[in-house]
């Protein structure tokens, strides 16, 4: 596997379910990100991790819980979601914190909350 992978690619869940999204990067990067892309809204940053430490939480509701066990893996744990949380969730990674460092994205998980 190369680049950034995400599983599952599609997920349907009820509001009382608990599920997790997984992201893995094979690029040797030290920073990982979660973004949310809703219909008709710009891509929004949710969380940033650098060297496994969370360095940014963009006022995300607590029903989203990130976990970064190492620099290659990032999870997003979901519980008691709302229908408005239905969106494409994109994971990205970058070498580090440099201004010009490109963030490389995975294919995303399309989430539908019923």
Partner 1 sequence: AQKITQTQPGMFVQEKEAVTLDCTYDTSDQSYGLFWYKQPSSGEMIFLIYQGSYDEQNATEGRYSLNFQKARKSANLVISASQLGDSAMYFCAMREVGGAQKLVFGQGTRLTINP
Helix (H) or strand (E) holding 61: none
Handedness of CA 19, 83, 80, 57 (dihedral sign): positive
Instruction: Name the segment binding partner 1 (CB under 8 A); options: 11-19, 51-59, 61-69, 71-79.
Output: 51-59
Task: Quote the tokens at residue 73.
Answer: 């893996």
The Cα–Cα gap between 47 and 66 comes to: 8
Is 68 a binder of partner 1 (CB under 8 A)?
A: no
The Cα–Cα gap between 112 and 83 comes to: 7
Instruction: Name the segment binding partner 1 (CB under 8 A); options: 11-19, 20-28, 65-73, 100-108.
Output: 100-108
Helix (H) or strand (E) holding 56: strand 53-57
The residue (of 18 and 26) whose beta carbon lies closer to partner 1 is 26
Is 79 a binder of partner 1 (CB under 8 A)?
A: no
The residue (of 50 and 80) whose beta carbon lies closer to partner 1 is 50
**Total of chain residues touching partner 1, rule CB under 8 A:** 25
Is 19 a binder of partner 1 (CB under 8 A)?
A: no
């Amino acid at each position: 596997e190369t680049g950034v992978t995400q599983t599952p690619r599609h997920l349907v869940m009820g509001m009382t379910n608990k599920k997790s999204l997984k992201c893995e990067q094979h690029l040797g990067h030290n920073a990982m990100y979660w973004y949310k892309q809703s219909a008709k809204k710009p891509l929004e940053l949710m969380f940033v991790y650098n060297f496994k430490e969370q360095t940014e939480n963009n006022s995300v509701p607590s029903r989203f819980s990130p976990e970064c066990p190492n620099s290659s893996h990032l999870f997003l744990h979901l519980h008691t979601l709302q229908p408005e949380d239905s969106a494409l969730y994109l994971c990205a990674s970058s070498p580090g914190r440099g201004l010009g460092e490109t963030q490389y994205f995975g294919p995303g998980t399309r989430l539908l909350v019923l």
